[in-house]
């Protein structure tokens, strides 16, 4: 028993000595990487749409068009290795879509023109990989995930209910408080970055897509005498999706 303990103690001492020798250099390198972060801003143009409709028999059909908008934000970049880095962002993005929804109302096929406008603050966490590097420039890719917080929503509907003889206007104009305030998204894209006057200028393309469906309203109001009647339709399950091109600078 005593002869077996000596090698074990020797191994433990050797391992402890290796840790003591390696740890200072590792801590110094990781500390340098963490302290070598940079700040940046980016902004540009995006096209947003809603997709992922769950078709439920003949209850409704949907044709979607894009909503143009703007996107802008701040980010912090931490290099992990020479080619890999971690990027945390706060981004304001305008999303939404225009929809042409065909639905049966009172057993009459009716076409509704619907506009959804939803603005978000996005909080993505991204991994960046510099695929090609030159002395003063690089081509890079980005991918990651994040959470969005809804800051504004608007729902506008117009349409006409008709049996061929009578025409009844349909309308709605309201906020989107019934839509979930939180959304969760995947992000991927790529860009080109170059040194310019001691700063890093970049042009970037991104695609974002929601994880889950949002229940978007399709209710409408019908004028009746001096009042309005509410016609409730089932919400349409849709997902946020955006394509954006931005310019940025990293300090």
Query: With contact defined as beta carbons under 8 Å apart, do 250 and 87 qualify?
Result: no
Q: Report yes or no: 168 and 186 within 8 Å, Cβ to Cβ.
A: no
Q: What is the DSSP string of 176-233?
A: -TTS-SEEEEEEEEEEEEEEETTEEEEEEEEEEEESS-EEE---EEEEETTEEEEE--
Instruction: Tell me the domain boundaries of the chain.
Output: 1-36, 37-250
When pLDDT is cut at 50, 70 and 90, the band that residue 59 belongs to is low
Whether the predicted pLDDT of 23 surpasses 60: no
- What is the rounded (10 degree) CA torsion for 36, 37, 40, 46? 130
Q: Give 146's pLDDT tier (boundaries 50, 70, 90).
A: very high
Q: Of the given ranges (3-12, 93-102, 206-215), which has the lowest mean pLDDT?
A: 3-12
3-state secondary structure (DSSP) of residue 10: helix
Q: How long, in residues, is the chain? A: 251
The yes-or-no verdict on residue 27 having pLDDT over 50 is no
The predicted model scores a pTM of 0.79
- Measured distance CA(15)–CA(9) in Å, rounded: 10
36 versus 74: the higher-pLDDT residue is: 74
pLDDT of residue 1: 42
**Per-residue confidence band for 62, with pLDDT thresholds at 50, 70 and 90:** confident
Residue 28 has pLDDT above 70, yes or no: no
Give the Cα separation of 219 and 112 in Å (integer). Answer: 10
- With beta carbons less than 8 A apart as the criterion, state whether 237 and 214 touch: yes
Q: Is the confidence at residue 195, as pLDDT, over 70?
A: yes
pLDDT given at position 55: 53
**Cβ(131)–Cβ(82) below 8 Å:** no
- Classify residue 235 by its DSSP letter: P
Helices (H) and strands (E) in the chain, counts: 1, 13
What distance lies between CA 179 and its chain's CA centroid?
A: 16
**Whole-number Å distance between alpha carbons of 184 and 127:** 17
Cβ pair 23, 31 in contact under 8 A: no
Please write the tens of the pLDDT for every residue from 85-134: 999 999 999 999 998 888 777 777 888 899 999 999 999 999 999 999 99
CATH of domain 37-250: 2.40.160
Nearest to 89 by CA among 78, 98, 80, 81: 78
**Percent of the chain at pLDDT above 90?**
56
Whole-angstrom Cα distance, residue 96 to residue 118?
Answer: 5
Residue 151: count of CB within 10 angstroms of its CB: 12
Q: What is the pLDDT of residues 132-141, one digit of tens each?
A: 999 899 999 9
């Amino acid at each position: 028993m005593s002869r077996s303990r000596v090698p074990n103690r020797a191994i433990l001492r050797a391992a402890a000595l290796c840790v003591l020798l390696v740890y200072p250099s590792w801590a110094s390198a990781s500390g340098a990487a963490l302290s070598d972060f940079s700040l940046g801003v980016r902004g540009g143009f995006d096209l947003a749409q809603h997709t992922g409709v769950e078709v439920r028999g003949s209850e409704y059909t949907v044709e979607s068009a894009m909503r143009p908008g703007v996107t802008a934000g701040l980010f912090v970049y931490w290099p992990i290795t020479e080619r890999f880095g971690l990027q945390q962002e706060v981004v304001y993005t305008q999303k939404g879509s225009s929809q042409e929804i065909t639905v049966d109302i009172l057993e009459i096929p009716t076409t509704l023109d619907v506009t959804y406008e939803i603005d978000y603050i996005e909080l993505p966490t991204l991994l960046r990989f510099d695929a090609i590097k030159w002395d003063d420039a690089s081509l890079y890719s980005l991918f990651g995930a994040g959470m969005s917080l809804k800051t504004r929503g608007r729902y506008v509907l117009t349409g006409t209910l008709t049996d061929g003889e009578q025409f009844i206007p349909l309308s709605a104009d309201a906020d989107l408080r019934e839509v979930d305030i939180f959304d969760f998204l995947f992000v991927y894209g790529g860009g080109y970055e170059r040194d310019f006057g001691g700063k890093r200028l970049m042009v970037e393309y991104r695609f974002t897509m929601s994880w889950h469906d949002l229940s978007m309203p399709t209710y409408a109001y019908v004028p009746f005498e001096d009042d309005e009647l509410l016609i409730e339709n089932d919400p349409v399950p849709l997902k946020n999706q955006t394509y954006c091109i931005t310019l940025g600078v990293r300090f």
